[in-house]
Amino acid sequence: MTEYSNSHQKITRYSAAIALAALIGCGEKLASEQSQHDTKQTAVPLINFENNGKPYTLTTDGSVSTRVITGMDGQALAINFQPEDDKPAVTLTTDQPWQWSDKKEINLAFDASNTGTESIQVYVSIHNDQGDASHYSVNIAAGESGTYYLLLAGKAKDADLGFKKSGIPAWESSDEMAYFRYGNPNMDLSNITAISLSTRGNLKPKTMLVDNFRLRTNPDYTSAYREKYVDRYGQNANLDFPIKVHSDEALKAIATAELEQLAKSKPMDDRSRFGGWKDGPKLEATGFFRTQKVDDKWWLVDPEGYLFFSHGLANVRMANLTTLTGVDFKDESVRYVDPNEVTPEDSIGIVKVSDAVRNTAYIASDVRHDMFSWLPDYKDPLADHYSYRRKDLMGPLASGETFSFYRANLERRYGETEPESYVRQWEKTTLDRFVDWGFTSMGNWVDPAFYPNQKMPYFANGWIIGDFKTLSAEFEVWSPMPDPFDPEFVRRAGVTIDVIAKEIQASPWCVGVFVDNEKSWGLREGSVSQRYGLILNALARAADESPAKAAFTKALQQRYQDIEVINQRWNANIDSWEALAQGFETAQHSNAFVEDLSYLLELLSEEYFRVVHDTLAKTLPNHLYMGVRMASWGMPEETIKASVKYSDVLSFNVYEEGIQPKAWRFLDDIDLPTIIGEFHIGATRENGLYHPGLVQADDQTDRANMYLDYMNSVLAQKTMVGAHWFQYVDSPISGRAYDGENYNVGFVSATDIPYPEMVKAAKQFNTELYPKRFAKAENTK
């Protein structure tokens, strides 16, 4: 390992660096038909719809219909996905399982044509005989026909680049690569039994033709596709697009023109001081935000008593816009974590690294360091935008140096007349944009620097972290679930909320408080272990080591009195309550056992919400508790039931094309105000990015139209009082440092240039927001 001092250009490769092979072979030739694209690949037919096609069985689930018709140079399967169900699906099951596990470089390709008038994000899934599945998706524009493929195996798939899988296409092709979405990315490819196609949260009918499913060998490719593709502005160095910047002078000129335009802007005419609807009914004014039901619809009410609907952008901060450079330091002091910290790693801002620590730098990952065509020398003025991540959720590095191209671009745009004056200008410009674009509030994850503002309402947030007991689940995303029965969790909740209270200073501009985000409660649908993994994990532990287990044992004993009742319900042979307290595991899941798991999940959930609610009520009695922003995939009925007892507003993060009425009908029965904490739509056209995000549009115009459709679906829901787009700024093209997100989900680019299509759509929606929301609407049931 070789040390260096001042310049990234002088770093010598570290022997533990990660690299792809220079050239990857295709493997054995497979004799078959060729798809029409610009690289040679050989393919083996799997399913087509000609009379002599391979045998398969077709089944459908939900509001979808199919028929074989003449099209696409032969017979093809026509699919009509209707919006009556949230996840309509078509499954093609082979009569003889496919064996792909011995193939080293393969992709699954198919031909498709969108015969409708809107783009379609189609999910393509492969299933094996073990019940495992891997799910991908691709967007097909209206009228578009082509070949689409899923990268199933190969060195390009296996390479850990530090951002979301299926990012950069590894070879040039007119075919379009699908993005891995969820499931098992490394599933066993022996005995593949089925291919399915589905949609998620459609608001309108979607139609398409599909044909010619085939397994192809990957073409020859080198590692060049992921080298030096990030330019000095954090943009794609290899592609041009409408808002690409080529010089500092151009960046300054764009900034100057925008500031002149914003200086002429003013709030929309129908807005109250706090962004409520001053042309609408005037209700009781309490001096703080509250909720009220008006004409069978839930509303927020602003401090002056005007109806208020919260619409804005979330993650208005620069804390998690840095990207890993591939450099790390041998000096362990840079990785020290204070046990009393209240800020999660991905929310920490710029961390200054001392010269002494920098003198121990080395390249820990070639694959990361080679992505950049430019990084500043440590003596460069832009070196102020280096930072550090002590822990990463994913990627080839457990920790490492980061750089913020976004902050560097702000300094280029506005200059620096005093320390970080460009940050102050950014804060002012951001507020002016929100007003000009017609938003009524900011969303979650707002930099506390915005809290004193008196132009735009906001939501405060906190994440309860600390050295308390946790529970593990089969399906975990961000971190293990806190054990809310642990007294240390209760103490840390108080510490977190005390910090929030100090930051917001009882401001009436704070609408409410979100605490935590997308906790791993369990899946809403799935196997017993996927739904109740937290409870199974707790039951397996000893009560003296797990507060949750102790609480569960006590609750069950009070509920059933006699341990023999438990034995009968669980098909178990537990000697005593003391034996149960020592730990219990079983693979038998009787209906009665599942009922008790459900009871315990509700008990666990209720304790969590009670602790947070009671602490907030004591410390911030005038501010709304906005809930925990449950992910739509992780919102078990038991957890929702518990949250209803303690939340002023329910919150869900819903990454689909919209709020599909049937899927969200249960909210009408709950009848509480609800807010969408996160949603977004992205594209990879016209911006140079390689990943669209969780919901994919075709291009920026389609993206803007889908945004409008989503927001109108929210307005149609009687319980929904707002929706927040995630996020303000695009993710770094090379992936944000903590979790690798590299999405086109911003209203502004990495150079802080607004996407004109999104701005136009936002102004259109926000101009009509209040009259449209207040209008009598048809019942959505």
The model's pLDDT over 520-548, given as tens digits with 9 standing for 90+, comes to: 899 888 889 989 999 999 999 999 999 99
Query: Residue 477: pLDDT above 80?
Result: no
Cis peptide, bond prior to residue 582, ω within 30 of zero: no
Write down the pLDDT at residue 166: 66
Strand-by-strand arrangement of the 650-653 sheet: 310-314, 720-726, 674-679, 650-653, 630-631
> Mean pLDDT throughout 87-112?
95
pTM for the model: 0.93
Cβ atoms of 112 and 207 within 8 Å: the answer is no
Write down the pLDDT at residue 32: 35
Which three-class secondary structure string do you get for 290-358? EEEEECCEEEEECCCCEEECEEEEECCCCCCCCEECCEEECCHHHHCCCCCCCCCHHHCCCCCCCHHHH
Instruction: Name which of 476-485, 677-686, 730-739 the model is least confident about.
Output: 476-485
Burial class (CB in 10 A: 0-12, 13-18, 19+), 631: buried
pLDDT above 70 covers what percent of the chain?
Answer: 93
Query: Residue 59: pLDDT above 70?
Result: yes
> Mean pLDDT throughout 563-570?
97
Distances (CA, A) of 476 to 479, 522, 539: 6, 8, 18
Cβ contacts of 19 within 8 Å, gap of 6 or more: 223, 366, 367
Pairing of strands 510-515, 458-462: parallel
Sign of CA dihedral 413, 418, 420, 423: negative
Q: Residue 215 carries which side chain, given as an amino acid letter?
A: L
Residue 348 has, within 13 A of its CA and on its CB side, a CA count of 19
CATH of 26-219, one of 2.60.120.430, 1.10.275.10, 3.40.630.40, 3.40.50.1000: 2.60.120.430
Provide the pLDDT confidence category of residue 5 given band limits of 50, 70 and 90.
Answer: very low
Write down the pLDDT at residue 430: 98
Q: Which residues pair with 76 in a beta bridge?
A: 69
Write down the pLDDT at residue 53: 66
| Residue 217 DSSP symbol | E
The string of pLDDT tens digits covering residues 377-419 is 999 999 999 999 999 988 899 999 999 999 999 999 999 999 9
Ramachandran category for residue 137: left, alpha or beta (phi over 0 → left; psi -120 to 50 → alpha): beta
Q: Which residues pair with 283 in a beta bridge?
A: none
Provide the pLDDT confidence category of residue 781 given band limits of 50, 70 and 90.
Answer: very low
Write down the pLDDT at residue 761: 98
The string of DSSP codes covering 582-624 is: H----S---HHHHHHHHHHHHHHHHHHHHHHHHHHHHH-TTSE
Residue with tokens 């944000």: 736
Write down the pLDDT at residue 4: 29
What is the C-alpha separation between 3 and 179, in angstroms, rounded?
38
Distances (CA, A) of 578 to 550, 552, 564, 604: 10, 12, 13, 21
Write down the pLDDT at residue 779: 38
Dmax over CA atoms of the chain, in Å, equals 79
Angle CA 506–278–713, to nearest 5: 90
Cβ atoms of 110 and 147 within 8 Å: the answer is yes
Cβ atoms of 641 and 627 within 8 Å: the answer is no
Provide the pLDDT confidence category of residue 40 given band limits of 50, 70 and 90.
Answer: low
What is the C-alpha separation between 154 and 388, in angstroms, rounded?
32
Q: Which residues pair with 625 in a beta bridge?
A: 513
Cβ atoms of 93 and 193 within 8 Å: the answer is yes
The string of pLDDT tens digits covering residues 291-327 is 999 999 999 999 999 999 999 999 999 999 999 999 9
The DSSP element (H or E) to which 436 belongs, if any, is helix 421-437
Write down the pLDDT at residue 1: 37
Classified as helix, coil or strand, 429 is helix
What is the C-alpha separation between 310 and 626, in angstroms, rounded?
12
What is the C-alpha separation between 17 and 7, in angstroms, rounded?
18
What is the C-alpha separation between 439 and 540, in angstroms, rounded?
49
> Mean pLDDT throughout 666-679?
96
Residue with tokens 């399967």: 77
What is the C-alpha separation between 378 and 463, in angstroms, rounded?
33
- Domain edges within the chain: 26-219, 319-421
pLDDT above 90 covers what percent of the chain?
Answer: 86
> Mean pLDDT throughout 206-221?
96
What is the C-alpha separation between 624 and 234, in angstroms, rounded?
39
Write down the pLDDT at residue 25: 26
The DSSP element (H or E) to which 653 belongs, if any, is strand 650-653
Write down the pLDDT at residue 164: 75
- Whole-number average pLDDT of the chain: 91
What is the C-alpha separation between 482 and 472, in angstroms, rounded?
9
Query: Residue 511: pLDDT above 80?
Result: yes
Write down the pLDDT at residue 8: 36
What are the helix and strand counts (H, E) for the chain? Answer: 16, 33
Classified as helix, coil or strand, 83 is coil
Query: Residue 200: pLDDT above 70?
Result: yes
What is the C-alpha separation between 653 and 80, in angstroms, rounded?
27
Q: Residue 296 carries which side chain, given as an amino acid letter?
A: D
Classified as helix, coil or strand, 752 is coil
Q: Which of 211, 205, 261, 217 is nearest to 68 (CA)?
A: 211
